[in-house]
Structure 1
Amino acid sequence: MMKKKINLIVTGLALICSVTMIYAQRTGNIVAYFGKEKVNEISEGELLHVFKKGLALQVPGIGFNSSSFPEDRVFNRFLMNADVLVKAGDVFDVDYLGNEMVWQKIEVDSASTFSDRNLRSSYVYLQYRSDREQIVLFEASGHSLVTINGMPHEGDHYDFGYNLIPVKLKKGNNVFVLKVGRFPRVRARILKPHSMLQFTTRDMTMPDFLKEEEGKTYDGAIRIINASEKWVKGLQVHATVRGGSESVDVLNLPPLSVYKIPVKIPGVSPSAQTDKEDVKLELNDEKGNLIATQLITLNIKSKYKHHKKTFVSNVDGSVQYYSVAPSTSKDSEQALFLSVHGASVEAVNQANAYQQKDWGNLIAPTNRRPFGFAWEDWGRLDALEVLNDAKQIYNPDSQRIYLTGHSMGGHGTWYLGATYPDHFAAIAPCAGYPDLLAYRDSFKERMKSRLDENDERFKRLFFEPTPTDVELMLDRAGTPSRTLKLIRNYLHHGVYILHGEIDNVVPTFIARDMRKRLGEFHNDFTYYEYPDGTHWYGNHSVDWDPIFNFFKRRTIKNDDEVKRIEFSTGSPGVSASSHYVTIHQQLKPFEVSTFELERNDSLTVTTANIALISFNLKKLNSTVDKLNIDGQGFELTDNEEVYFRKDKSTWRVTNKPARSEKGPHRNGGFKDAFRNHVVFVYATGGTSIANEWYFNKARFDAETFWYKANGKVELIPDTDFNLKKYADRNVVLYGNHDNNSAWKKLLKDSPIQVYNGKIVIDEKELPGNQWGSYYVTSRRDSDFASVGVVAATGQKGMKAIYENHYLVNGTTFPDVVIFDDTVLESGTKGIKCTGFFGNDWSVKNGDFEWK
């Protein structure tokens, strides 16, 4: 075990997740695979090696760094030089107190686990000597990242037990460097795969069969391991249930990968008397030869009892699920309750915490994972997709849609309620915090009180120099998540706040602060502190009768009934509309845009930070013939949708904006590239080193999107990209103008061009091989798709772009970020330029900051 003891300050999020497990323990928990299997019963392979000894390096304070560009000196060293070897006693560097940071010996416990509280904020270094080149499966858990012989791969920081990485070991020494995740424990072993192609049942997404739905075909997903160095094409998966069969084509599997594949499953007969049903899955090659089989068992349930449903997501074509607590009544047009779960809680357990209601159906989305994205980013999109899918199934009363959730789901309730205020008649955040970034900051404030301000640790961890203009621009991309800046959107609906009186996970003062804030302007909210209530005090922490009584008395107003609207947004690409008014474009991107509207016989509107706005008068039953916007009067000749564009300080009537411009359909922020059935296209036209790196980087991002978002991203070489075949899909390009042949098809007219040896930004040139870049722009051959770019000018820049914090919730990325190879050592100080394109997707009309 590590000998040196360093007092660590745990991060806010680690505390959230560990304590919120109270909720998970009450409603069902996740158990990792590793450690519970017998050695000879591993389904994917034969045990080759268990790591029992290693080295650990503690880096105090790294847990607080939730930046979009966190400093990571350790990984920087192993990325920049894959041949680095270390031994016990080697000094890596000195910490902020001037103490030597030393690699120290560690050993596993009786459960084959490296486990010690001092592993938090640490890296674990492992070696394996192979007597030959061979393909194996590296299995580990408890780590957030790993480099294998210098190449980065996704970790298993939630300890799910899902992680399997096919890797080709070299003859001789192989090095694995793991960054310890949320919990101070790590396990690792090497398996010899049973077959080059096989199923794994780790992390399936499967439906419940419903007795009442005869002839229905269900969506499911299972992972396939390709432990070969070749692309595998032309596969099919056949699913058989009681003689019924469904088949699907499998997307091409990249070399040395594990991909989650959608499958179609035939339903069972409604006369089934059992509560289980076996499904046989068969994997066939392009000639019809059987490669692998897998038997899985699904539950049979009644659609009138708690159950789960699956659907295919428009984000990436993956299969997602949500859970349902259906109404006890079969009446049509009932209410619909959207309930969003807390950290570590499965959607099934969220729905199970509620008794069935007699006046509405309750649905619980996944946030794409039990931890997911804190209901922001792709978690937000998941909530919207589930809401839309449930509306099609249950055909609810459109005026009786409600929102609630607990803990992280309480945050999701505050956030979604402020972001989409006209979607809900009332919201009820339970044990929630409104602003994710402010919540993290509150933990830092609480930690401050434990240290003397003259302590060097205080200065290191809490001294924050005045942010640079570049850093402020980076932060601005997070405006849509700053819920408190949108607080007056709560005027759209009723609010019921439920919080435990002595909650120390989401401290009660946060709820009291929201009570105070709402009390200054809101006339329809209720606040209740549960006496002696902690963070979780039984199912009534969420299933609280007064909440549903509060809901029952409130409805969404019809558009024609709405006489006053206040609405704000941080980005039209996230939320743009309230009732019959839509903000299409901003004057200053990703700053708050607001309108206030009063309606009598005419419309009176005041605006802030709006460049283009429309009013859909077709939604109104009565005629409106006059509109006054910021003091300018206009005569309205018919009840159609009318558009107004601001030119300097003057409004003028305009046409519907061209789809080629920015708008709600496509507005940027780099993260916006990762949706709309996104496909990753990697370069093959460079040096062997560049080609290997870009392929691994694209595969690394696909691994991360699978792990964090239960995702399925198609990965293809540039030589396979075709505009028609992938029409209207988002594309993320890995490579540059000189080595990715898809660049010229998609980015020929882009104002930013990345070449070997230089970046050109609207005629400004940055020479050198050290530059990396992330940016998003419009796909010119589509009315709504985008192109994301992960590009570098050379080998140093390629290694700098490895960091994929753009797939982490709470991180912020404008349209464009350009940085050099010092970014891993110095974080945001390595950023050269960042900003937003103009509404015409140009640099000239954009907003940029340069270092």
Structure 2
Amino acid sequence: MEETPLREFIVCGPFPHGSLTRNGFDPLLVEWVNPSEPLSEGAEVAGRKCFKASADASGVLDFAALFGESFKPFWRLEHGLAYAYAEVEVEGGSYVLLAGSEDGLAVYADGKRALLQPIARRFAPDFYAIPLRLKSGRARLLFKVSRLAGGWKLQAKLARVEAPFYVHTARAVKPDLVCGRREKVYVSLPLVAFEDLASATVRAGSGWRSSRVEVKRLRAGEEVPVALAVEPTQPPSGDEATLDLVVEGGGHREEVELKLRVVGEGEHRVETYLSRVDGSVHSYGLKPPKGVEPGREYGLLISLHGFKGHPYFSELYGEKEWLFVVGPSARDGEVPYREVGCLEVLEVLEWVAGRYPVDGDRVYLSGHSMGGYGTWFIGVRYPHLFAAIAPLSSRGDLSEDAARLRERRGWSGV
């Protein structure tokens, strides 16, 4: 499948964030540009002139760089909304628009809204797979990108799709494999339906053991992550392993490859688990202690990353002789450490403690910024699970939290 990166844009902005709405602070709900009309160089919108801009060599359009130094502070931005417009010559048919943004993103194709995602997240290329049905001629694509904090970017490319589905490999959740260790692991492969499908199936190819997973009733435009348990038939070796997957649906068969990193027993690695909350697959980082000894139990530190921070905080720690360090991913950074995010931390704790020799009396919880808030939130609600907590650069309801923590015998500093 040939992909066409979008590199030339007409940019307009920056515009103010907007105002509070009943849905919260969502600048994507405020319109400055009519999505049905094309943008042209030199046109003026609310006192802002539209201008040409090109993506860099990696296909990324950096709004913070385009608009100047005054738009680079991390927090409390007065202006945080920009438009980028592109036209592409296409033949009529089904297409997938792959896009990544930092932060929120709305997309309009030929004047019709195809995506509205206000979630603030760190930049990831091809994060969205947007199914489009385009007519022959010049397709008009308008991107609206909001910025809450940190970077402010857009990346997009267009690809023709002949199948009734698209396999969104950029969003696959996959683990690292440990050299010489043959074990069952979980992967997640998202499927985007271009038409209503009665069912679709996914299974592993040669060299792997797996069950055949069937997903029923996929609706057109829907993206469904398919969870799959796989096990290599031979112990992995080298630096990389290839997982071949076969996807079938709507009378079409497609084969895709996922590359899995192979690491040493003592190296930091990404592991996956199957959530009991919704049956989905998620990842966490794990740094094992130096030289795990048979029969010995080790401490466990769960370290929570901050807003748009490093996805696996565990990778930033030095090697410890007495401690496993685990970094939950907050479901790819999409959720804070409350409700579902809180349950994720508890599931990761249970999962790791069931796989490795963890001393239940030496389990610790820490985090920075958003992760520090999560440390407060989780620690005061489940104090029996942790020997100590260490929230860093964070906030919490100190009056309520301190009262709860005082009930935990042996804790101090509150």
Per the TM superposition, whether the score is higher than 0.5 is yes
TM-aligned CA deviation for residue 83 of structure 1: 3.8
Q: TM-score, normalised by structure 1?
A: 0.41
In the alignment, structure 1 residue 224 sits paired with structure 2 residue 191: yes
Post-superposition CA distance 1:576-612 (Å, at most 9, x none): xxxxxxxxxxxxxxxxxxxxxxxxxxxxxxxxxxxxx
Q: Could you tell me which of 241, 260, 275 is aligned with 2:225?
A: 260
Between the aligned partners of 2:27 and 2:308, the Cα distance in structure 1 is 27
Classify 1:483/1:177 alpha carbon distance in 2 versus 1 (closer, same or farther; 3 Å): farther
In the alignment, structure 1 residue 410 sits paired with structure 2 residue 372: yes
TM-aligned CA deviation for residue 91 of structure 1: 6.1
Post-superposition CA distance 1:741-790 (Å, at most 9, x none): xxxxxxxxxxxxxxxxxxxxxxxxxxxxxxxxxxxxxxxxxxxxxxxxxx
**Local SS of the residue matching 2:364:** strand
Question: Is the contact made by 1:138 and 1:164 (CA closer than 8 Å) also made in structure 2?
Answer: yes
TM-aligned CA deviation for residue 56 of structure 1: 0.8
Between the aligned partners of 1:250 and 1:222, the Cα distance in structure 2 is 12
Match of residue 381 from structure 1: 343
Between the aligned partners of 2:47 and 2:28, the Cα distance in structure 1 is 12
**Local SS of the residue matching 1:487:** helix
Post-superposition CA distance 1:84-116 (Å, at most 9, x none): 566566665xxxxxxx44452332255455441
Classify 1:210/1:73 alpha carbon distance in 2 versus 1 (closer, same or farther; 3 Å): closer
Question: Is the contact made by 1:130 and 1:174 (CA closer than 8 Å) also made in structure 2?
Answer: no
TM-aligned CA deviation for residue 422 of structure 1: 2.7
Between the aligned partners of 1:417 and 1:52, the Cα distance in structure 2 is 49
Between the aligned partners of 2:390 and 2:347, the Cα distance in structure 1 is 20
Between the aligned partners of 1:407 and 1:140, the Cα distance in structure 2 is 28
Q: Could you tell me which of 394, 409, 413 is aligned with 1:433?
A: 394
Between the aligned partners of 1:66 and 1:483, the Cα distance in structure 2 is 29
Question: Is the contact made by 1:425 and 1:494 (CA closer than 8 Å) also made in structure 2?
Answer: no
Between the aligned partners of 1:298 and 1:373, the Cα distance in structure 2 is 25
In the alignment, structure 1 residue 235 sits paired with structure 2 residue 174: no
Classify 1:101/1:385 alpha carbon distance in 2 versus 1 (closer, same or farther; 3 Å): farther
In the alignment, structure 1 residue 366 sits paired with structure 2 residue 329: yes
Match of residue 283 from structure 1: 247
Question: Is the contact made by 1:335 and 1:361 (CA closer than 8 Å) also made in structure 2?
Answer: yes
Match of residue 170 from structure 2: 202
Classify 1:85/1:295 alpha carbon distance in 2 versus 1 (closer, same or farther; 3 Å): closer
Between the aligned partners of 2:271 and 2:408, the Cα distance in structure 1 is 29
Q: Could you tell me which of 147, 150, 155 is aligned with 2:107?
A: 147
What is the letter of the counterpart of residue 190 of structure 1?
L
Classify 1:236/1:187 alpha carbon distance in 2 versus 1 (closer, same or farther; 3 Å): closer
Greater fraction strand? 2
Match of residue 69 from structure 1: 24
**Local SS of the residue matching 2:324:** strand
C-alpha RMSD of matched pairs (Å): 3.7
Matched ranges for 1:456-495 at <5 A:
482=397, 484-493=399-408
Q: TM-score, normalised by structure 2?
A: 0.78
What is the letter of the counterpart of residue 331 of structure 1?
G
What is the letter of the counterpart of residue 145 of structure 1?
L
Between the aligned partners of 1:110 and 1:325, the Cα distance in structure 2 is 35
Question: Is the contact made by 1:224 and 1:260 (CA closer than 8 Å) also made in structure 2?
Answer: yes
Greater fraction helix? 1
Matched ranges for 1:504-519 at <5 A:
none
Q: Could you tell me which of 266, 269, 287 is aligned with 1:307?
A: 269
Between the aligned partners of 1:317 and 1:486, the Cα distance in structure 2 is 32
What is the letter of the counterpart of residue 220 of structure 1?
V
Match of residue 124 from structure 1: 83
What is the letter of the counterpart of residue 490 of structure 1?
L
Question: Is the contact made by 1:368 and 1:378 (CA closer than 8 Å) also made in structure 2?
Answer: no
Question: Is the contact made by 1:197 and 1:292 (CA closer than 8 Å) also made in structure 2?
Answer: no
Question: Is the contact made by 1:279 and 1:296 (CA closer than 8 Å) also made in structure 2?
Answer: yes
Match of residue 176 from structure 1: 142
**Local SS of the residue matching 1:391:** helix
Between the aligned partners of 1:107 and 1:297, the Cα distance in structure 2 is 34
Between the aligned partners of 2:398 and 2:205, the Cα distance in structure 1 is 48
Classify 1:45/1:163 alpha carbon distance in 2 versus 1 (closer, same or farther; 3 Å): farther
**Local SS of the residue matching 1:368:** helix
Match of residue 76 from structure 2: none
TM-aligned CA deviation for residue 286 of structure 1: 7.0
Structure 1 unmatched ranges of 5 or more? 1-43, 93-99, 436-481, 496-522, 527-851
**Local SS of the residue matching 1:489:** helix
What is the letter of the counterpart of residue 135 of structure 1?
S
Between the aligned partners of 1:125 and 1:405, the Cα distance in structure 2 is 36
Match of residue 255 from structure 2: 293
Question: Is the contact made by 2:206 and 2:244 (CA closer than 8 Å) also made in structure 1?
Answer: yes
CA radius of gyration, larger in: 1
Between the aligned partners of 2:106 and 2:377, the Cα distance in structure 1 is 33
What is the letter of the counterpart of residue 70 of structure 1?
F
In the alignment, structure 1 residue 340 sits paired with structure 2 residue 340: no
**Local SS of the residue matching 2:293:** coil
Match of residue 75 from structure 2: none
Classify 1:273/1:164 alpha carbon distance in 2 versus 1 (closer, same or farther; 3 Å): closer
TM-aligned CA deviation for residue 298 of structure 1: 2.1
Classify 1:152/1:297 alpha carbon distance in 2 versus 1 (closer, same or farther; 3 Å): closer
Match of residue 164 from structure 1: 129
TM-aligned CA deviation for residue 212 of structure 1: 6.8
TM-aligned CA deviation for residue 384 of structure 1: 1.5
TM-aligned CA deviation for residue 151 of structure 1: 2.0
More displaced stretch, 379-388 vs 121-130: 121-130
TM-aligned CA deviation for residue 236 of structure 1: 1.7
Between the aligned partners of 2:54 and 2:203, the Cα distance in structure 1 is 42
Aligned-residue sequence identity (percent) comes to 18
Between the aligned partners of 1:385 and 1:207, the Cα distance in structure 2 is 17
Match of residue 15 from structure 1: none
TM-aligned CA deviation for residue 383 of structure 1: 0.8
What is the letter of the counterpart of residue 201 of structure 2?
Q
Between the aligned partners of 1:238 and 1:260, the Cα distance in structure 2 is 14
Match of residue 835 from structure 1: none
Match of residue 317 from structure 1: 279
Match of residue 401 from structure 1: 363
TM-aligned CA deviation for residue 66 of structure 1: 9.6
TM-aligned CA deviation for residue 268 of structure 1: 4.3
Match of residue 74 from structure 2: none
Question: Is the contact made by 1:51 and 1:126 (CA closer than 8 Å) also made in structure 2?
Answer: no
**Local SS of the residue matching 2:361:** coil
Aligned length: 390
TM-aligned CA deviation for residue 426 of structure 1: 0.9
Match of residue 106 from structure 1: 52
Classify 1:258/1:103 alpha carbon distance in 2 versus 1 (closer, same or farther; 3 Å): farther
What is the letter of the counterpart of residue 25 of structure 2?
P
Question: Is the contact made by 2:306 and 2:370 (CA closer than 8 Å) also made in structure 1?
Answer: yes
Match of residue 600 from structure 1: none
Post-superposition CA distance 1:817-846 (Å, at most 9, x none): xxxxxxxxxxxxxxxxxxxxxxxxxxxxxx
Classify 1:114/1:340 alpha carbon distance in 2 versus 1 (closer, same or farther; 3 Å): closer
Between the aligned partners of 2:121 and 2:316, the Cα distance in structure 1 is 26
Post-superposition CA distance 1:43-88 (Å, at most 9, x none): x5332x73513141332354x969842364864577xx86456656
Q: Could you tell me which of 517, 525, 528 is aligned with 2:413?
A: 525
Between the aligned partners of 1:158 and 1:273, the Cα distance in structure 2 is 32
TM-aligned CA deviation for residue 125 of structure 1: 4.5
TM-aligned CA deviation for residue 176 of structure 1: 1.7
